[in-house]
Amino acid sequence: MLPYFSSAFGNPSTLYSYGQEARKAVEEARSKIASLINAQSEEIVFTSGGTEADNFAIKGVAYANEHKGNHIITTPIEHHAVIEPCKFLEKRGFSVTYLPVDNQGLVDPQDIKNAITDKTILISIMHANNEVGTIEPISAIGKIAKERGIIFHTDAVQTVGHIPVDVDKLGVDLLSISAHKFYGPKGIGALYIRKGTKLAPFIHGGAQEKGQRAGTENTPGIIGFGKAVEIAMEEMTKEGTRLSHLRDKFIKGLLEQIEQIQVNGHPTKRLPNNVNVTIDSARADLVLLNLETEWIYASSGSACSSSNPEPSHVLLALGLSPEQARSSLRFTLGRETTESDIERVLEVLPRIIDKTAVMSELLKGMARRSRCC
């Protein structure tokens, strides 16, 4: 990325050679990204990340197709980047069906079939869930969408760069990507738009990105995105196998060592890097703070770590109670996670759970009494 902050700083939209150097690099990155998901270069539009790609897909389809209908189908476990634009559209005359998922986080394609009406213009179902790691039956849904002629979007922010993603095999028309989820820079992503898909432009202005997303390109970000794709293409298969093995070892160890624990998400249709568990005797915020003192960074099923955090909308949709959701921990494995890291967490975590058990109970009692959530 560095030369594009200095020696190759030219604007890719200019005609002089200084800018053309940047243009060439941008187009090379676009082509790499396209090939990672089996798309064509001209079907990739750069965005500022996954959130913008999701907003572009949902609002873009809604505004370009409102003469055809006003109905959107999605799920309650989508990322806020999908749920919030849907809510925004609901206030403006669109109708959104949030299909329930089962207790492992899977949506049933049959439910989608049943929910389609003659007003349905968009189906948006995430490829894999960011909290519990469940991988959705996207190809089956893609077939249904195609049969009914409905535009199908998937938020693949958690899968691109981690597991194989092929837009044709998935049968999607729109697919959101974010570079920082697979070691690229933050603030850059893309929306795949299948040729012929009708979408209103997202940002109005200049003619960049074929007029669909105006604004001078984030050249260094795009170059970093392309490089991250290149590395992911080389490492994905091997890394996927390595992480799946570590994940399974970690889950096995947790189940053996901790009482009253349940694994959230699907046991096999699951991202290689995701482990999400509910531990009845734990308060996630307390456990996380204690883990941090041991240099172990994990997340909870909660939106924040205040004294009474909001329970995760995903875990609630899977049927967990607010109290269970607040007792849930999410561990994400990555390129730097080793076998000995897993062993260390397995050694430290049970100790922390014991240490925080009394305080956890106290906080849970307070939350129950205040009935605030």
Task: Please report whether residue 158 would count as binding ligand PLP according to CB under 6 A.
Answer: yes
Q: What span, in angstroms and rounded, lies between the C-alpha atoms of 134 and 315?
A: 12
> How crowded is residue 325: how many other Cβ atoms within 10 Å of its Cβ?
25
Q: What span, in angstroms and rounded, lies between the C-alpha atoms of 364 and 301?
A: 15
Closest alpha carbon to 284 in 303, 301, 263: 301
According to CB under 6 A, which one of 44, 107, 157, 317 is a site residue for ligand PLP?
Answer: 157
Q: List binders of ligand PLP among 59-98 (CB under 6 A).
A: 79, 81
Cβ–Cβ < 8 Å for 319, 100: no
Shortest Cβ contact with ligand PLP: which residue?
50
What would the two tokens of residue 7 be?
Answer: 């020696």
Length of the chain: 373
The active-site residue out of 86, 304, 372, 373 is: 304
Active site residue 373: no
According to CB under 6 A, which one of 12, 49, 142, 309 is a site residue for ligand PLP?
Answer: 49
Interface segment toward ligand PLP; rule CB under 6 A; list 150-158, 191-199, 307-315, 317-325: 150-158
Task: Please report whether residue 50 would count as binding ligand PLP according to CB under 6 A.
Answer: yes
Q: What span, in angstroms and rounded, lies between the C-alpha atoms of 201 and 21?
A: 27
* Residue 178 Cβ vs ligand PLP, minimum distance, rounded to whole Å: 3
Angle CA(160)–CA(25)–CA(209) in degrees, nearest 5? 70
Question: What three-state secondary structure class fits 117?
Answer: coil
Interface segment toward ligand PLP; rule CB under 6 A; list 34-42, 43-51, 200-208, 212-220: 43-51
Site string for ligand PLP, 174-213 (x = CB under 6 A): ----x----------x------------------------
Output 189 or 221, the one with its CB closest to ligand PLP.
189
According to CB under 6 A, which one of 130, 208, 274, 276 is a site residue for ligand PLP?
Answer: 130
Output 157 or 352, the one with its CB closest to ligand PLP.
157
> How crowded is residue 61: how many other Cβ atoms within 10 Å of its Cβ?
27
What is the layout of strands, in order, in the sheet containing 44-47?
44-47, 189-193, 174-178, 151-155, 120-124, 71-74, 95-98
Interface contacts to ligand PLP, rule CB under 6 A: 49-51, 54, 79, 81, 126, 130, 155, 157-158, 178, 189
Annotated catalytic residues are 304
